[in-house]
Every structure is written in structure tokens, then in C-alpha cells.
Chain A
Amino acid sequence: MKLWEYIIYRIVLAVVVIFFVVTIVFFISRVIPANPAALWAGAHPTPEEIERAKEELHLNDPLITQFYYYLNGLFHGDLGISIRTHHPVAEDITKAFTATFELIIVAEFFAIIIGIALGTYSAVKKDSWVDNLSRLFAISGVSLPIYWFGMVLQLLFFKELGWLPLSGRVDTIVMLEHPLHVITGFYIFDSLITGNWIIFKNAVWHIILPAITLAMYPIGLITRQIRSMMIEVLQENYIRTARAYNVPNRTIYMKYALKNAVAPALITVGLSLAYTLVGAFLVEIIFNWPGLGRYATYAILSMDYPAIIGVVIIGASAYVFINVIVDLIQMYLDPRIRV
């Protein structure tokens, strides 16, 4: 099988997976006893208005017909109209997704760098005080509740020290005074390439606390995984060979051992990315971050099912996509599993 054949195969598989996800979420959201029509019709609706809303939302049609309408829309990139915001769901999600994605990228970027560095160092200096400290740090990272940790950071860095902003993505006033020309939707990136330094600084300032909060769990996970893989790899015969020829320790650790440790640990990185998607729900509520998690939470609270299904589809697609990427990187790193 050629590489592109493999990629196509994975994409077809992904479409099948997403179809099942859509089906399940669609039917679950329809069998829940709730009245979306009442919500759609606005404040204090009359029975006639609710009846009309039901017509508009096709709620009187058989389920299977509703499903057909939904799939048909989906096929045209239409995720329906949000019952809560009355905007197209696709539009809402695109806006929210870039905010979430920016947060996840920053969090995961630091998680990977810190996790690999800490894990490698821990394995090399096994049982030293640095190792013990990093293990304590890692276990705290995976076990501290994210909402508690986020609030502690807010108390410390906003209330007590006053170094960092409490919440939000960027200060509204700053945004009004220095309008940002939005290109990709990633504020840090957009402000950087348009040279809008005030927004850039403001956005970076705002992302620090939520990113740290979100990164704690992946840091712990990656550190632990890299450490245990590294310890295993360092006992391998090929490391003994390298030592028998005086290959410097730095080369052994950073080149020969790390590549062998990272290849299997990548699965964990993929999992941790999926986790940050979930973690974003809590972090975005705590830090009032206008992202997918916050959008989904409000959607769930108001039974806004087009929005719920939309978020689930995006989440599932992202998860499947992450896994494909992880598999491809793994194939790149390890020649034995290349197809």
C-alpha cells in the first residue's frame, strides 16, 4: 500500500466514524424530552407560535425524515440554525473553534516541550531529587482538578499579584482602540503578522493562565510516558552498543534514545490532545474564553441541539484527524511500521 492510499483509507474510515457519531448524537438529542420549539419561538410564546416553530424546525416530521434533512444540510456544509443564538451553527462554531484551537495549540506546545524535557531528564537522572520532584509534578498534573487549579491561578496571579488578567481572550477596550484585522481568527498569529503589537501583547497576556491550566494534565501525562519509555530504551542493546563506542551521552540521550522513546509516546500525545479538547470545556468557562467549550456548554444548557450536534461533529472530526496525524508522524519516525 502506498502512502497516499493509506491516507485515503484513513479518511474514508474517518468519514464512516463521523457518520456514526452524527447518527448517535442526532437520535439521542431527539429522544430527550425537551421543547426546543418553545425556545425557538422566543420569550412567552403562544401555543400558535410554538406550533409554527415546530413546523419551521420540521419537528412534526418523522424522525427519519428529520435525519434526512439534517444529513442533506450537513452535506452542504450547513449545520442548521442555532436555537439559542439564531445564527448558523457553522458560523458560530468556526468563530469559537479558532479561539479554542489557539488555546489548545499553545497549551499542547508547552506540554510537549516541557513533558519531553522533563521526562528525558528524569529518566537520565533516575531517582535523583530532580526526578522525584518532576514525578511529583507530573502526578500533580494528572490528578489536580482543572477547575480548582484554574481558580487557584486566578487568585494568585490576578487577585494577589495582579500580574495577569482574570479572564477573556483580549481586553475589549484595547480591542476597540486598536482594531485587529482578523485573517485566520488566531489573535496571536493575526496580530503578529499585521504588526499590531498592543493586541499581540494583550492576547499573549490573556492566554497564559488558561493555557497553563489546560497544559497541566498533558504535561503530567507526557512526562510520565516519556520517562518510562526512556528508562526502558536506555536498557536496550543498541544503547549498549553506542556506549561501547563512546558515543557521547548527549548524542545517546537526545538522538538515539529519544527518538525510540518518542515514537511510542506519540500515542499519549494524541490522547492528551483529545483530552485538552475536553478540558477546554472547563477552562473556557472559568476563564470566560469565547471558545468551543463555552459555546457547547451553553448549547447543552439550553438544549440547542443543532449546536450540540455541530460541536460533537467538530470534536469527533478533530479527534479522528489528530489520530491520523499521530499515525503519520509515527510512520515517519519508525521505518518498521511504514506501509
Chain B
Amino acid sequence: MKELLSIENLHLNFRTFWGTAYVLNGVNLKIYENEIVGLVGETGCGKSVTSMSILKLLPSNAELSGKIIFEGQNLLELSEKEMKKIRGKKISMIFQDPMSSLNPLFKIKTQMVDIIKLHHNIHKDEALKKAMELLKAVNLPDPHRILRSYPHELSGGMRQRIMIAMALSFEPSLLIADEPTTALDVTIQKQILDLILDLKKEYHFSVLLITHDLGVVAQTCDRVGVMYAGNIVEVADVNELFENPYHPYTKGLLLAIPDPRYKKPLKPLRGNVPSLFKPPHGCRFHPRCELAMDICRREKPQLIEYSKNHAVACHLFRRGDKK
């Protein structure tokens, strides 16, 4: 498998009025060609800002360091002009809330044509034709009507399909999907996920799927990264992760999923997500970890490949140890 994107030791701080928020604390993640990688974690753990960092769409008070290697170049070193050749073209993104991600005061036609025209450098009529094709590609019935509609006249599922159609405009090699189904009904969720899977087969792109829903991950992803408070704590193949989780946080997450077969009480993780203004020293999970040791308070555990295709960042699993 060829490497497509590699995030290496990514740090992100936000300077705010209230102090500095240490949002990402050395994120490491690789995405290979033609695969779907899930990124899971609680709200506020840094999933979305990781994806926004890839496209460099962060507010001006953000400080990024580390490396994001995409097709051989470090995106963090690219100028805004060079970034424009990648953003929206080679890497496109669909967002959590299709309700608010489309401009309410402009017709779908205007919004799609403006984007397509810009990149392909083509005339408005051709752009319109292209928009029509894209809408057909995402299985939207009656594209004529949709192009003439305003966003509020369409359902959430339709809007998300339009977002996906926009993302396909330039045949990207990486599609970042930031909670694409969170705002949708369960039945629509399934349709949208299936659509992404189908399109992936057709267009051969990789997907970075950001979600907090482990069910979605189990259904769609090849590999998963688990994030906690700005760190990737575990990366593994989907089945491996569900069957044989290493990290105490991952285990906690899996125990917190309701299982209809056994009506056993759920076991929520104790404690709360730490403040990013004053993150805990050492392993950021240690205040909530039942197995915390002395070293966890002092030293940050590195993400190491503990067994084949299964990496973990925890002092319980040190390099050289064999289970």
C-alpha cells in the first residue's frame, strides 16, 4: 500500500484571550491510498481541528507545528497559493452539518457553479453541465429542480449529497468527512455512508472519516485511530481494535457502547475530559485511568507499533514487551 498522507508529530495551540489552549499534542496518523480511516473520540478531543489543519483552514490565532506530508510535500510549508492547488482539488472535505454548510441565500446552482467554474476554468454553461453530472453521480433525482432550489427547500440528506457532489468536482485523492452523518436520521445515515463507499470504489480516493459513532466506524472503515485530548492513543485495523483493544481509553469507549443483547448496565468512563488550557502532565489520560502508574504522570507515552498493524500510546505497552 502506498502512503497518501502522513501526519507527523502535529502540535496545535490556540492563543486566546483566556490563555493558550494546547489542542493537539503530537498527533501521528498515516493514510494509505484507497482506504478508509476512521478517527474517533469524544467531542473536543481534536478530531475536527486535525482535519482543518490538513486543509490549513484554521483561524488566525492558531499555531501549527509538525509535519503533514501529502504526496511528498509538507503542507505546512506550502504558501497559500500552493495550498490552493490542493485544497478543494486533491483534498476535499464534507462537513458535519449540511444544514449550515450551504449558503442559505444562494441557489444550489450558484454555489456549485462558482466552485466548478473557478477550478476548471470553464464557461458557466459547461460548469452547469458538470454540476448536473455530479448531482447524478450522488444519486440525486431531478438535478434540474435541485439546481434551482435554495438549501432550505431540500432535506438534510439531499444537502449532504450536494456537499458530496461538490467534493467530487475535482476527483480528489483524499476526502475528509467530518461527522458526515451526525446531523442525519439513522436511515439517511446508512444511505450517505453507502454512497461514500460506492463513490470511493468508483473514484478511488481515500477517506478520513471523523466521527464519534463507533457503529459508523465498524460499518465503513478499514482502520481506526482513537483520539483522546489531542493525542492519537491507538491505531489499528477495525476488527482488531474492536476485538483486542490495548489502550485503557479504547477499552473504556467500547464498554460504553450499549449492547442490546445483554441488558447489562453501561460502564461510563470516570471523570471528565481535561481542560486544554491546563492539560495533565505526562499521559493526558492518566487522571481518568484506573491503571495509571508513576511514569504516566511524568512522561508522555509514544505511539509505537506494539503488534502488527496495531499501534498504541500507553506505558503499559512498551516496545520490546511481548504479550
Contacts and interface: CB of A to CB of B under 8 A. Distances in A.
Contacts of A263: 105
A236 interface: yes
Interface in A217-250: 236-238, 240-248
B87 A244 contact: yes
Contact of A336 (B55, B92, B150, B163): B150
B105 A259 contact: yes
Interface stretch (B93-101, B122-130, B188-196): B93-101
Contact of B102 (A238, A248, A335): A238
B88 interface: yes
A238 B101 contact: yes
Contacts of B100: 236-238
B120 interface: no
Contacts of B92: 244-245
A335 B109 CA distance: 15
B119 interface: yes
A247 B101 contact: no
A333 B103 CA distance: 13
**Does more than half of chain A's interface fall in helix, strand or loop, or is it mixed?**
helix
Given A237-B95, A335-B152, A244 B84 contact: no
B118 A335 contact: no
B115 A238 contact: no
A241 B96 CA distance: 11
A336 to B, nearest CB: 5
A196 interface: no
B118 A246 contact: yes
B203 interface: no
Contacts of A251: 114
Contacts of A237: 95, 97, 100-101
A272 B321 CA distance: 75
B166 interface: yes
Contacts of B84: 246
A238 B110 CA distance: 13
A29 interface: no
A248 B117 CA distance: 12
B201 to A, nearest CB: 24
A238 B104 contact: yes
Interface in A245-262: 245-248, 251, 256, 259-260
Contacts of B115: 245, 247
Contacts of A335: 104-105, 150, 152-153
A334 B103 CA distance: 11
B105 A241 contact: no
Contact of B57 (A244, A248, A260, A336): A244
Contact of A245 (B106, B153, B166): B166
Nearest to A239: B103
Contacts of A236: 100
Given A237-B97, A251-B114, A242 B103 contact: yes
Interface in B107-159: 114-115, 118-119, 150, 152-153
Interface core residue of A245, A259, A263, A334 (most chain B CB under 10 Å): A245
A334 B105 contact: yes
A335 B106 CA distance: 9
Contact of B93 (A244, A248, A336): A244
Nearest to B152: A336
A240 B95 contact: yes
A243 B80 CA distance: 12
A256 B118 CA distance: 15
Contacts of A244: 55, 57, 87-88, 92-93
A259 B114 CA distance: 16
B131 to A, nearest CB: 13
B57 A241 contact: no
Given A245-B115, A246-B119, A260 B55 contact: no
Nearest to B59: A235
A335 B148 CA distance: 12
Contact of A240 (B57, B104, B119, B153): B57
Contact of B95 (A241, A259, A334, A336): A241
Nearest to A338: B150
A183 to B, nearest CB: 39
A236 B97 CA distance: 11
A240 B93 CA distance: 10
Contacts of B103: 238, 241-242, 256, 260
Q: State the 7 A-B residue pairs at the shortest beta-carbon distance, nearest first.
A: A245-B88, A237-B100, A238-B103, A335-B150, A245-B115, A237-B101, A246-B84
Interface of A: 236-238, 240-248, 251, 256, 259-260, 263, 333-336
6 contacts: A237-B100, A241-B101, A241-B163, A244-B87, A256-B106, A334-B105
Given A236-B100, A241-B101, A335-B152, 14 more contacts: A237-B97, A237-B100, A238-B100, A238-B102, A241-B163, A244-B88, A245-B87, A245-B88, A245-B169, A246-B88, A247-B114, A248-B118, A256-B103, A336-B104
